[in-house]
């Protein structure tokens, strides 16, 4: 099985898994993978991640030009700005997952670090989570805001929108965004309760 065929199948399998578990819904969310030839595959616009067609994925060449497949998502620029700032990225996942979006709506969130270090796995898989300011869907001003953060952070929370996460491969990106969503859920469950966060020393011991 070739690199591109494998990537097409993996994107569809991951999309179905995310959709089936309620981590995305309707036609929200998008997934991309960088190919070995420097091009990209990306989920197309208005496509449910639960019903993706491997043959209809949007394919871009190494210059970012659409060469085949369906019309690309209007949030393609989010993926490209992550790849531009992170040479190690081989996959990007963006979701409108419920608890992460809920955190992005809170007025008292620290824009430098939207979620505290609740667990070791959040620290290891996500690290610091900056909050990018709100822009309307498809507004390319968001690319500048995300690009300014992506060089130092592989996960960014978009205000009133949701998370975007880059990974060394698709599994890494998915594991990180799922960890982010679960931590957001924990954070919301614990609001108002006296909570024991990991200390600075404990976080540093994990290599963050």
Residue 75: active-site member: yes
Q: Which residue reads 């616009």 in tokens?
A: 45
Q: Of 10, 75, 85, 179, which residue is the catalytic one?
A: 75
Sheet strands side by side (includes 155-158): 66-68, 58-60, 40-42, 30-34, 91-94, 162-167, 155-158, 131-132
Give catalytic status of residue 140 as yes or no: no
Own/partner pairs, 125-129, CB within 8 angstroms, 24+ separation: 125/175, 125/176, 125/179, 125/180, 126/155, 126/165, 126/176, 126/179, 126/180, 126/183, 127/153, 127/154, 127/155, 127/208, 128/153, 128/208, 129/153, 129/155, 129/156, 129/157, 129/163, 129/180
4, 121, 182, 208: which is the annotated catalytic residue? 121
Catalytic residues: 75, 121
């Amino acid at each position: 099985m070739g690199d591109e065929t494998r990537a097409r199948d993996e994107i569809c399998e991951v999309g179905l898994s995310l959709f089936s578990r309620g981590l995305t819904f309707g036609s929200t969310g998008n997934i991309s993978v960088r190919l070995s030839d420097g091009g990209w595959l990306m989920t197309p616009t208005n496509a449910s991640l639960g019903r993706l067609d491997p043959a209809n994925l949007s394919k871009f060449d190494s210059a970012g030009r659409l060469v085949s497949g369906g019309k690309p998502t209007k949030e393609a620029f989010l993926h490209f700005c992550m790849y531009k700032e992170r040479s190690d990225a081989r996959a990007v996942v963006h979701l409108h997952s419920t608890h992460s979006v809920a955190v992005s709506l809170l007025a008292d969130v620290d824009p430098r670090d939207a979620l505290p270090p609740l667990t070791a796995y959040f620290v290891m898989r996500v690290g610091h989570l900056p909050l990018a300011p709100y822009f309307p869907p498809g507004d390319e001003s968001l690319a500048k805001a995300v690009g300014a953060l992506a060089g130092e952070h592989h996960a960014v929370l978009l205000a009133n929108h949701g998370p975007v996460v880059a990974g060394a491969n698709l599994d890494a990106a998915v594991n990180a965004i799922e960890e982010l969503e679960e931590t957001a859920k924990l954070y919301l469950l614990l609001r108002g309760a006296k909570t024991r966060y990991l200390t600075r020393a404990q976080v540093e011991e994990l290599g963050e």
